[in-house]
Chains A and B, each alone.
Chain A
Amino acid sequence: MKNLLSSRLAWPVLVLVALLLANFAVNPSFFEITVRDGNLYGPVVDILRRAAPIVLIALGMTLVIATRGIDLSVGAVAALSGSWASMSIISSADRASVGVVLTAVAVALIMALVAGAWNGFLVSTLGIQPIVATLVLMVAGRGLAQIITNEKILYPDNSPAYKLIGGGYLLAVPFSILLAGAIFALTAILTRRTALGTLIEAVGINPAASRLAGIKDRQIIFLVYVFSGFCAGLAGLMLTSNSTSADPNSIGLSIELDAILAVVIGGTALTGGRFSLAGTLVGAFIIETMDAFVVIAISARSTDVFKACVVIVVCLLQSPKIQSWLRGLFTRRRPGTPTGPPRAAGSAEPAGATPTGPASGPAVNPTEQMTRTS
């Protein structure tokens, strides 16, 4: 039990479970999954499907943040690739043709890779601060998307092959979930079954030292931005393929913030050096479940305020001041710990997030501290 709770993932998972239960409380049919035309439907499936683009973008963001960077341009890159793919399919003679769709998707993904490489070049070769370097594309990328679409709103809804990416089904499961899952598995294998993950963490902890140790830090930094660009491009395809109308101004708008939020909730510190892909996955699900809950139980209009409160609480919990305060609290009252965690999990429920913030503290902190010092 103690091992389970000291795991880095335990608290995000508990929060997710609490959120799911809260959703169930307001909507008793929340866990119902029905089969229509041989495909799965239901609120949970819906949440998973909507989480797919965020999961993808947050995956790339996790690796970027692990190298002490940040990628603000992901929303713009998503808009760029989504606009290009939709535009070239719409303007082609045969929208239903698989060849047309495949070409459009391939070119869009290459554009996303180039965008990522551009960010990587600015950060790794020119040594510009990541926030600033990716800011350039964040501003200009959406502009390029507008130029591609000639300032029109796109209606990419009558190409079945393209629709598959974001709204289609394969083996009864939404294709976007499978796609995001596949990329997630691939990333997990690459970073955890090879040395790549360790190298990324080494660069994030100390680039100079890792360079001295023989790690090609610039190559690694370059690669994570390329990967982030690719993920953003793929997410852009998902976002546009599923929508009946897409405006380059609004495709993936502020998705970079959701992705960063998912990463932070998942326990990856913004200071870089260590990352948790599973945590990011849980973080992305938390965001989508939270959105679903807020929309049903409170009001769609308060989603942003709610998210802001969550970000603030999560950040405060990670802050050195609160951490040392809680550590003091924790060491003094060691016998009292069993009562701490369950209450904390309850308090992480949406409605009480702000006022009970400190109470949910012991949760994140000790584990955080243990992993850091060990």
Chain B
Amino acid sequence: MTITESAVAAARPRRRRFSRYAQYSTVGITVALLALMLVAGSLLYPNFTSGQALLDLLGKNVFLLPLAVGMTFVIISGGIDLSVGAMMALGSVVAATLLQAGWSAPVVIVAVLLIGSLLGLLNGVMVSYFGIQPFIATLASMFLARGLCLVITDRSIAIDNPFFQTMNTAHLDLFEVTSTNLRGKVRVSDVYTTPSVVIALAVLLTAFAVLHYSRFGRTVYAVGGNESSARLMGMAVSRTKISVYVISGLCAGVAGLLFAFYTASGDPVAGIGYELNAIAAVVIGGTLLAGGTGYVLGSFLGVLVLGVIYAFKEFDGDLNTGWTRVMIGVLVLFFIVIQRLVVRRT
């Protein structure tokens, strides 16, 4: 650490002009990478970059976006949240169970969001008030949430509530595309997206506004940058740390609902390993795991990059699922090393 800091001090005068842009370099690389992958995909497979396929990048991984958004808050504040995947599963299971018990859809939605926030609060209190390492505290609540899922049910529950069904099947037609297929037949098809995507994007934009244009957002960055300075400056450090975990839990609740919409079911084993995907998306999006620096829109790009990796797998039926994992691992490694270099330099 001391070496990095002295290197920072030494390099600053010379590099001041570039350092303003250097912080965006990781995001720049992400954009370039995304473009490169899309080009490679369109060369390898027809229709890879058709309008519908591009929209599906998000549509098929729509529940990952809220998870990544919540994770961004936590990671910028210098923490980590391993419980989001399990919380998402719990949200979907609770929704399915309550609907089965005859609760109305709005009440169920509020209940799921409340449960997510409560578990987030538990994380926040453990981390902030009791000073438990975020990694361990959220690991415990991951066990807890996954365990609660299994206590409620050990199999997936179908949802036949009309509102959830509508959200499952609804298409928002955006525009029409005329395409000519190989036999010369002209076809007009609607390019559509789902209400879930709109909800996820709304979460993203709200998070963007909060993180970059509110006092709370600035405090989150300050706490992640240097907690003791933030405390000395009189910022509400504990409250902020608790809040980011509540936000993450709330986002996991939203993800649980979106998952329930997407699959029309509640699944106790849903989202195993999704915390890793969310962390990967955040890292790929240029957020520093050490805290203090990050972009919520970068996490959006990260989700898209993961989406493209899964699309590769989908377009190529012979591709081993293992490769998607290896590719995610390699990408995370790549961005961590880049970040390491950028941090040393700026």
What residues of chain A have their CB less than 8 Å away from a CB belonging to chain B?
70, 122, 126-129, 131-133, 135-148, 150-151, 208, 248, 257, 260, 264, 270-271, 301-309, 311-312, 315-316, 318-322
Query: Would you mind naming 14 contact pairs between A and B with Cβ atoms under 8 Å apart?
Result: A128-B336, A139-B273, A139-B276, A139-B329, A140-B325, A142-B322, A147-B323, A151-B321, A302-B151, A305-B147, A305-B150, A312-B126, A312-B140, A318-B132
B143 touches A315 (CB 8 A): no
B333→A309 contact, CB < 8 A: no
In the bound complex, do residue B337 and residue A126 qualify as a contact, i.e. CB atoms below 8 Å apart?
A: yes
Instruction: Say yes or no for B22: interface residue by CB 8 A criterion.
Output: no
CB distance B147 to A308 under 8 Å?
Answer: yes
Per-residue interface assignment for chain B, residues 79 to 103, with 1 indicating a CB less than 8 Å from any chain A CB and 0 otherwise: 0100000000000000000000000
Q: Determine which of A132, A136, A146, A271 lies in contact with B320 in the assembled complex, contact meaning CB atoms within 8 Å.
A: A146
Interface on B for A, CB 8 Å cutoff?
Answer: 2, 80, 126, 129-133, 135-137, 139-144, 146-148, 150-151, 154, 273, 276, 279-280, 283, 289-290, 320-330, 332-333, 336-337, 340
Q: Collect the chain A residues with CB atoms within 8 Å of residue B150's CB.
A: 301-302, 304-305
Minimum CB distance partner of A303 in chain B: B147
Tell me if B135 and A143 are in contact (CB < 8 A). no
CA distance A190 to B132 in the complex (A): 31
A305 x B320 contact (CB < 8 A): no
B137–A315 CB distance below 8 A = yes
Given contacts A136-B336, A137-B329, contact A305 B148 (CB under 8 A): yes
| A135–B326 touching, CB < 8 Å | no
12 further A-B pairs in the complex, CB-CB below 8 A; given A127-B340, A131-B80, A140-B330: A70-B135, A135-B332, A139-B325, A142-B325, A143-B321, A146-B321, A146-B322, A146-B325, A148-B322, A302-B147, A302-B151, A322-B130
A131–B146 CA distance with the chains assembled, in angstroms = 22
Known: A131-B135, A302-B151. A316 touches B146 (CB 8 A): no
Contact B329 A305 (CB under 8 A): no
Shortest beta-carbon distance from B39 to chain A in Å: 24
Beta-carbon nearest neighbor of B276 in chain A: A139
Mostly, the B contact residues are: helix
User: What's the least CB distance linking B332 to chain A, in Å?
Assistant: 5
A105 to B141, CA, bound (A): 37
Residues on A with beta carbons closer than 8 Å to the beta carbon of B323: 143, 147
The distance from the CB of B230 to the nearest CB of chain A, in whole angstroms, is 19
User: Contact between A315 and B326 (Cβ–Cβ < 8 Å)?
Assistant: no
Q: How far is the CA of A132 from the CA of B129 in the complex (A)?
A: 25
Shortest beta-carbon distance, A307 to chain B, in Å?
5
Q: In the bound complex, do residue A143 and residue B324 qualify as a contact, i.e. CB atoms below 8 Å apart? A: yes
Cβ–Cβ contact A126 & B276, under 8 A? no
A307 to B321 CA separation, bound complex (whole angstroms): 31
Residues of A within 8 A of B328 (CB): 139-140, 143
Complex contacts, A304 vs chain B, CB 8 Å: 143-144, 146-147, 150
Distance, CA A208 to CA B2, complexed state (A)? 9
Q: Which residues does chain B contribute within 8 Å of A142, judged by CB atoms?
A: 322, 325
> Would A129 and B329 be within 8 Å (CB), given that A151-B321, A308-B143, A316-B130 are in contact?
no
Query: B325, A129: Cβ atoms under 8 Å?
Result: no
Q: Chain B contacts of A133 at CB under 8 A?
A: 336
Whether A132 pairs with B143 at a CB distance below 8 angstroms is: no
Residue on B nearest A248 in the bound complex, by CB: B322
State whether A140 touches B326 (Cβ < 8 A): yes
Q: Known contacts A127-B340, A311-B136; is A301 also within 8 Å of B143 by CB?
A: no
A307 to B136, CA, bound (A): 13
CB proximity of A145 to chain B, nearest CB, Å: 7
User: How many Å from the CB of B143 to the closest CB on chain A?
Assistant: 4
B322 pairs with A147, CB closer than 8 A: yes
| Known A270-B136, A304-B144, A308-B147; contact A135-B126, beta-carbon cutoff 8 A | no
Instruction: Collect the chain B residues with CB atoms within 8 Å of residue A305's CB.
Output: 143-144, 147-148, 150-151
- For residue B302, give the distance in angstroms from its CB to the closest CB of chain A: 14
Among A128, A141, A150, A301, which residue has its beta carbon within 8 angstroms of that of B151? A301
Contacts of A131 in B (CB 8 A): 80, 135, 289
Q: Is the CB of B333 within 8 A of A144?
A: no
A39 to B165, CA, bound (A): 58
A316 to B279, CA, bound (A): 26
Residues on A with C-beta less than 8 A from B143 are 257, 304-305, 307-308, 311
* A137 partner residues in chain B, CB cutoff 8 A: 329
Closest chain A CB from B227 CB (angstroms): 15
A321 surroundings in chain B (CB, below 8 A): 129-131
